[in-house]
Amino acid sequence: MNIIIKDSAADASAAVADVLLRQLAHKPGSVLGLPTGGTPLGVYANVRQAHEQGRASFASATTFNLDEYIGLPAEDPASYAHYMRENLFAHVNIDLDRAHIPSGMAEDPSIEAARYEALIAAHGGIDLMLLGLGRNAHIGFNEPGSAHDSRTRRVSLTPSTIEANAGYFEPGARQPSHAITMGIGTILECRKIVVLATGLEKAEAVAASVNGPSSEDVPGSALIWHPDTTFVLDRAAARHIERAKIRELEA
């Protein structure tokens, strides 16, 4: 596991955008795993700018989003499908047939989850997965207690996650209690993983994920087992990482 600590959230976002841009330059037909949430907004802004300046092409790329709320149609402003259109897909030259997001409106979410899992496998797996981290260290919507070998599936959201994400919903809008998420096992099969976490409210989740021990209570700690995971943090999010851990990684 690598840890990169930047002075600011803006610098951390730029560093993660750079990883994505280098991946596309190195392999234009890359399969990318993409997150949503407030944290990656700066990454997508950097990528949009690079595309505008002719420094990034998604013409041959395929993307798989991590998760989607059950019960929200793609047109709903709080859906992750809407988020991705607004923040990335509408602004770059991606073929929308190759920009995959689980359907939150599937009649049977378990069948949709199995279809999604099979689609990822049919594309030969994911080259680069970008991840955010929930305040309770969830990755995708894998809440504490998720098995480290879990696959794409329907999950219930914890009250703390529902509360943390309430701000993304219009006042009075119905907020879903379930989602379809890639599993932790699915995520661990991605060839390279980059986690972006910024701000003090993520410091405990980062520390529990990075310091270990690895446990199902801390979904982010599953990444300890992955051979090519990098945490990109700002100083606030890095605050509780053990000094020994940083020295060990610097050695």
Q: Taking the complex as a whole, how short is the minimal distance between the CB of residue 92 and ligand GLP, in angstroms?
A: 20
Residue from the set 13, 23, 30, 39 that interacts with ligand GLP by CB under 6 A: 39
Residue from the set 2, 8, 27, 38 that interacts with ligand GLP by CB under 6 A: 38
Tokens of 129: 């997965």
Per CB under 6 A, 220 contacts ligand GLP: no
Which one from 65, 136, 142, 165 is the annotated catalytic residue?
A: 136
- Concerning whether 201 is annotated as a catalytic residue, the answer is no
Structural contact between residues 176 and 183, judged by C-beta atoms closer than 8 angstroms = no
Taking residues 134 to 173 in sequence order and writing x for each that binds ligand GLP by CB under 6 A, - otherwise, the string is x-----xx-------------------x---x--------
User: Which residues fall within 8 angstroms of residue 75, CB to CB, at 6 or more apart?
Assistant: 82
- Concerning whether 136 is annotated as a catalytic residue, the answer is yes
What single-letter amino acid sits at 182? M
Per CB under 6 A, 132 contacts ligand GLP: yes
Which of 38, 193, 69 is closest to 141 using CA atoms? 69
Residue closer to ligand GLP (CB basis): 9 or 92: 9
H or E element: which one contains 153?
strand 153-156
Which one from 51, 67, 112, 165 is the annotated catalytic residue?
A: 67
Per CB under 6 A, 65 contacts ligand GLP: no
User: Which residues fall within 8 angstroms of residue 182, CB to CB, at 6 or more apart?
Assistant: 33, 64, 66, 67, 116, 117, 120, 140, 152
Half-sphere exposure of 61 (CA within 13 A, CB side): 27
- Concerning whether 67 is annotated as a catalytic residue, the answer is yes
Per CB under 6 A, 30 contacts ligand GLP: no
Identify any residues that bridge with 7 across adjacent strands, giving them in sequence order: none
Per CB under 6 A, 37 contacts ligand GLP: yes
Identify any residues that bridge with 130 across adjacent strands, giving them in sequence order: 194
Residue closer to ligand GLP (CB basis): 24 or 187: 187
Please give the distance of CA 8 from its chain centroid, rounded to a whole number: 20
Piece of 24-32, 57-65, 115-123, 126-134 that binds ligand GLP (CB under 6 A): 126-134
Q: Taking the complex as a whole, how short is the minimal distance between the CB of residue 181 and ligand GLP, in angstroms?
A: 7
What single-letter amino acid sits at 179? A
User: Which residues fall within 8 angstroms of residue 86, CB to CB, at 6 or more apart?
Assistant: none
24: left (phi over 0), alpha (psi -120 to 50) or beta: alpha
- Concerning whether 127 is annotated as a catalytic residue, the answer is no
Per CB under 6 A, 104 contacts ligand GLP: no
Which one from 68, 112, 127, 143 is the annotated catalytic residue?
A: 143
Q: Which pairing describes strands 153-156 and 178-181: parallel, antiparallel, or unpaired?
A: antiparallel
Active site residues: 67, 136, 138, 143
Residues at the site binding ligand GLP, with contacts judged by CB under 6 A: 35-39, 66-67, 132-134, 140-141, 161, 165
